[in-house]
Amino acid sequence: SQNRVCRFLVTQLQGKAKGATLVLFRWIGPTMRGLSRVDRALAGMVLVGFLGTATILAFAVHRAIRPVEEVTRLAEEAEATDLSRRVRVSSGGEEFRRLADVINSLFERLERAFAAQRRLISDAAHELKTPTAVLLGEASDALRPEATESERQRSLQTIAEVSRGLAREVDGLLHLARGDAAAPRRMEPIDLSEIT
């Protein structure tokens, strides 16, 4: 009738009260309040542990992903005019160092390829300028209305000779372009005493 939570013990009596049953009731309200406080403390510890673990995990993931972000940022900022920048990995494991090495090697190859392309264009412009001027001059000379037949023949002969030379120059430039674009050859030390 008091709406209390109780624990009870039922025991069989011995001796003079043999055959009788004794029921003991004990109020466990203070014990229940203590257990409730323990439950709340455990729930608080679990919550604090979860938040601490989430914080540590977020920090670890951010630190682990930082090298990938550095590589991504460098790749996004890279331009054909400046491929000299390289990835520097200050944290992360061996996998990130290998990734940085691969990306840096790629940038080095691209830088060499663009430099070779610039050299080829510069060489081509320089080598083709003179023959082109000669061809244009000889063609203009041959097309003059007052030019004689022998002057026209001489101009055509010069045009033919310069065209052959121009074809050789173009072949040389193509050969140069193939050589610049090729992968660098591996150098190995050789003991010259073994050759003789």
Higher pLDDT, 177 or 141: 141
List, for residues 65-94, the tens digit of each pLDDT value: 777 777 777 777 777 667 777 777 666 677
CB neighbour class for 116 (10 Å; exposed up to 12, middle 13-18, buried from 19)? middle
Q: How confident is the model at residue 36 (pLDDT cuts 50, 70, 90)?
A: confident
User: Can you read off the two tokens belonging to residue 34?
Assistant: 């203590």
Higher pLDDT, 156 or 126: 156
Q: What is the pTM for the complete model shown? A: 0.45
pLDDT of residue 31: 78
CA dihedral 72, 73, 75, 81 (to 10 degrees): 180
